[in-house]
């Protein structure tokens, strides 16, 4: 499941490194990136120095810990784009990404980081955005998508999905699926024959 650990490390070092990564993944997923390096070291039953030797910076630890998630993202997006029907592909992307994000408080935080300083995820993000732009375009041209939908809307709802990872872990999955359902229906073409009781909503004073 994880990337191969460099075999140049001594056996015990390799072991400690793995334990650190596992601890980091667990804590990041549960509590987000705010967990301290110390907390991670303690959970891995390792001294602070050991942690810092392998991962001099929290950034490097975050990258290593979320390598799997980045791959999962790629997989979700690529298989969605490869689907013969762009609308179904888009649906699976939406559900997949929202669920993945809801499961991983920390990953979402890292991947949608507001501060892009030295952000290694930026590259991945850009690549995925390109793919998604194409998918959206195809779905729109197929008439399966509301006309005014853009890739920015997709980013927007993923950004909104961040809120879900604040829920208690037990409820995140169900919430994510339901949210995906609602959002997907919101992406469908606006059918004027549907009950049009609502006009523009007056903004709140």
Binding site for DNA (CB under 7 A): 8-13, 15-17, 36-39, 45-50, 52-54, 56-58
* Residue (50 or 112) nearer to its own copies, CB: 112
Check residue 189 and give left, alpha or beta (phi > 0: left; psi -120 to 50: alpha): beta
Partner from DNA, its own copies, none binding residue 10, C-beta < 5-8 Å depending on class = DNA
State in angstroms the smallest separation of the CB of 168 from DNA. 22
* Residue (1 or 49) nearer to DNA, CB: 49
Partner from its own copies, DNA, none binding residue 92, C-beta < 5-8 Å depending on class = its own copies
Partner from its own copies, DNA, none binding residue 53, C-beta < 5-8 Å depending on class = DNA
- Pairwise CA distance, residues 2 & 65, whole Å: 9
Contact of 14 with 20, CB cutoff 8 Å = no
Q: How many CB atoms lie within 10 A of CB 89?
A: 20
- Pairwise CA distance, residues 82 & 54, whole Å: 38
Contact of 94 with 180, CB cutoff 8 Å = yes
Query: CA quadruple 24, 32, 131, 143: dihedral positive or negative?
Result: positive
Residues within the interface to its own copies (CB under 8 A): 72, 75-76, 85, 87-88, 91-92, 95-96, 99-100, 112, 114, 142-144, 146, 153, 156-157, 159-164, 166-168, 175, 178-180, 182-191, 193-195, 197-199, 201-204
């Amino acid at each position: 499941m994880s990337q191969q650990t460099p075999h140049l490390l001594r056996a015990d070092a390799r072991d400690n490194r793995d334990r650190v990564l596992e601890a980091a993944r667990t804590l990041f997923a549960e509590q987000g990136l705010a967990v301290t390096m110390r907390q991670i070291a303690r959970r891995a039953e390792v001294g602070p120095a050991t942690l810092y030797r392998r991962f001099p910076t929290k950034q490097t630890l975050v990258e290593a810990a979320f390598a799997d998630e980045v791959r999962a993202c790629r997989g979700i997006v690529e298989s969605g784009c490869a689907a013969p029907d762009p609308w179904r592909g888009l649906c699976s992307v939406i559900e997949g990404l929202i669920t993945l994000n809801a499961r991983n408080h920390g990953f979402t935080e890292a991947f949608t980081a507001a501060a892009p300083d030295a952000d290694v995820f930026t590259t991945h993000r850009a690549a995925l955005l390109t793919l998604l732009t194409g998918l959206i375009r195809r779905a729109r041209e197929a008439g399966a998508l509301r006309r005014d939908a853009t890739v920015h809307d997709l980013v927007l709802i993923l950004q909104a999905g961040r809120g879900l990872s604040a829920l208690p872990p037990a409820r995140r999955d169900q919430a994510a699926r339901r949210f995906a359902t609602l959002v997907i229906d919101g992406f469908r073409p606006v059918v004027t024959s549907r009950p049009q009781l609502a006009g523009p909503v007056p903004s709140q004073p």
